[in-house]
Each structure stands twice: as C-alpha cells, then as structure tokens.
Amino acid sequence: MIWLTFISLLVLYVLYHKYGWRHPLFLQSQKKILLVIAHPDDEVMFFGPTLCAIKRLKIPLKVLCLSNGNADAMGKIREIELKASLENLGISDFSLVNDTSIQDGFVSWDPALISSYIHKYSLGVSSILTFDDYGISGHPNHISLNHGLVLFLKQNTKIKGYSLKSISLIRKFTFVIDIIPTILLNMLNSDVSTITASFTEYFRVRNSMLLHQSQMLWFRHFYIMLSRYMLINDWEEVQ
C-alpha cells in the first residue's frame, strides 16, 4: 500500500511537471535573468529547479554570488566548487564577490551595499531572483539579499524582482510528497509561480550539489534526498 501511494505521488508529480505551471509567466519573454545568492552551494540547495527551467527555456542567465563562503576558512575551495557546480548545470556566466564587508557568517549585511552590487551586475537584466524575507533557512545573509533587492527595486522600477518563497519546516523535507500542498495552495493563491524539475534535472542538480565536497556533511546527504527545494520552487514578485 505504501509503495502504491508513493508511485501515485510520482505519477502526480510527473503530470504536474508536464502539464502544470511548467513555464511560469515571470520566465516568459525575459531578456536576461540575474540570480543573486549569498554563498557557494545556494544555487543548488535552493534554486536548482529554477536554474534548470531557465536553461530549458534558453533564457540568458547570470549568477551573482556575494561571498565565497569563507566562514570556515575554505573560501578558495568553495570558489572552485561553485564554478564546477555551475558548469555542471551548463552555466558559465557568473561573478563572485569577496568584499570584506559582506563575509559569510550569521550576521546581517548592509542592504545598501548589496543594492550597489546588484546595480553593478544588472546591466541588460529584466528580472532579478533571490531569497524572500525569511531566506528559506532563516539565515541572515539570505535575508539581507532580499532587503538589498527591495532597496534596489525602489530605485530601478523598470526591473522586476522575484523572491523564492519560504515554507514550513515540515513541508521543506517532504520531497515529492509536497506536490500535493503545492497544487492545493496554488489554487488559492494565483500570485505564486511554481517551477518543477524533471527527475533528470533533479539528478543533475543533485550531482552539482555533490561537487560542493567541502560542504557535504552527513546531514547534507539527507537534505538532497528529502528537500522539496531540490524539486520545487515557488516564486512571488517583490512588491
């Protein structure tokens, strides 16, 4: 009975991926998208399905990473891992900032400084993606990116901003099961755009995460097996 339920969930997920919100409105007619992340590995821990969708739709993309993740003195290693991870996803256009004022750590970053870096790398960009104001995991570096984007958008009204929606801890680690509450909640909230990864894309994202070898502690292996962010991303426009 358990296996039948699981197989039914897989079928539902595949059908949703194929016939549901596979091409969200905010991914259509884009000139170029800028994804802003805080640390190497954010791109696959949280944004993998979206990166795969952008590549699938052949939309020009740039990834901006605002620190090299040097909290444990492994910044140089993590820079190499980020490059390898993005290359595995077919992404070559990325920049990494190593500013002493915005180093990896459980502290907030200056929104004005973040806004200035977004401005620097936003040439030709029509939309900017980053974390929401909870930052998925509550990490202050993630939250600071949202605050920096909000500030930037106030001064650059022709560019759209979108934030990756945080969900409850229980839903976060239900993997494919989360497709049920995702579908139901999307019926109630038309402002949310959902992106799903195919299972082929999931394994590509998983392999990119494994390239962040310095970060692959035991709990990260459980994360890539159980996190719905490896399969599903929900986006809301930043107002």
- pLDDT tens track for 180-227: 999 888 888 878 889 999 999 999 999 999 999 999 999 999 999 999
pTM of the model: 0.94
- Is residue 161 over pLDDT 80? yes
Token pair for residue 181?
């509450």
- Rounded mean pLDDT of 35-61? 96
For 2-237, CATH number out of 3.40.50.720, 3.40.50.460, 3.40.50.10320, 1.10.1760.20 equals 3.40.50.10320
pLDDT at position 21? 56
| CA torsion through residues 28, 88, 166, 115, sign | negative
**Tens digits of per-residue pLDDT, 77-134?**
999 999 999 999 999 999 999 999 999 999 999 999 999 999 999 999 999 999 999 9
**Tens digits of per-residue pLDDT, 8-33?**
777 778 778 777 655 566 777 788 99
Q: What are phi and psi of 38, to 5 degrees?
A: -95, -35
- Rounded mean pLDDT of 143-155? 97
- Cα-based distances in Å from 87 to 39, 62, 90, 169, 235: 16, 12, 5, 30, 24
- pLDDT band of residue 230 (cuts 50, 70, 90) is very high
pLDDT at position 18? 75
User: Which among 205, 208, 210, 212 has a CA at the least distance from the CA of 74?
Assistant: 212
pLDDT at position 23? 54
Q: Are 41 and 82 in contact (CB under 8 A)?
A: yes
DSSP letter for 227, please. Answer: -
% residues pLDDT > 90 (the chain): 81
Count of other CB atoms within 10 angstroms of residue 229: 27
Q: Are 158 and 189 in contact (CB under 8 A)?
A: no
d(CA 77, CA 195): 31
Which residue would you say has higher pLDDT here, 57 or 144?
144
Cα diameter, the chain? 56
Domain boundaries of the chain, sorted by first residue: 2-237
pLDDT at position 46? 98
**How far apart, in Å, do the first and last CA atoms of the chain sit?**
45
